[in-house]
Amino acid sequence: MIIRLSKALAVCAVALYASLVVIGNITDYDTNFALIRHVLLMDTIFPEATIKYRAIESPTAHNVSYIILIILQTLTAILCWIGGIRLLANLKNTAANFNRKKKIAIAGLTLGFLTWQVVYMSLGREWFGMWMSEWNSGAEAFQVYTTILLVLIYLVHRDRDRNRERDEMK
């Protein structure tokens, strides 16, 4: 039971983090938007970089990109909250039932991993050269998506009923 509780709480911890990110992005839109704007403009990467043709100069595209990011983070938070609460509600059910209740949490964690890995690392750092900029948030993104991935790996490990575990140990 403690392992199931641990898994459920780990999912809720990711949900809390994503929720706080969303709240920060919405309530401090302009400050956090500056990161997206500078990354897409590529105006702070090395002057001699030859990838500046990738820059997106449209303010509309900057806002749409940021809104999409907020939506992805919001969906991550919602799915993880629903998934974590469903797991908490099913702690005492059979292992088969508990394993079935993991689907929404798995979806939320997967979306969170993809959001931070694809948006920040693949697109931001690599495509738009964020690694060359003072606006580089790659280390933070790496910590986030690694944490999410570890929770996902922990969660998908199949739970078993105690009686079955005792029988297998004999």
Q: Give the model confidence (pLDDT) of 113-126 as tens digits.
A: 999 999 999 999 99
How far, CA to CA in Å, does 52 sit from each of 5, 31, 47, 125, 162? 48, 24, 9, 13, 58
Question: Model confidence over 34-68: pLDDT tens digits?
Answer: 999 999 999 999 999 999 999 999 999 999 999 99
User: Rounded to two decimals, what is the model's pTM?
Assistant: 0.90
Token pair listed for 106: 């798995």
* DSSP state letter for 90: T
**Has residue 167 got a pLDDT over 70?**
no
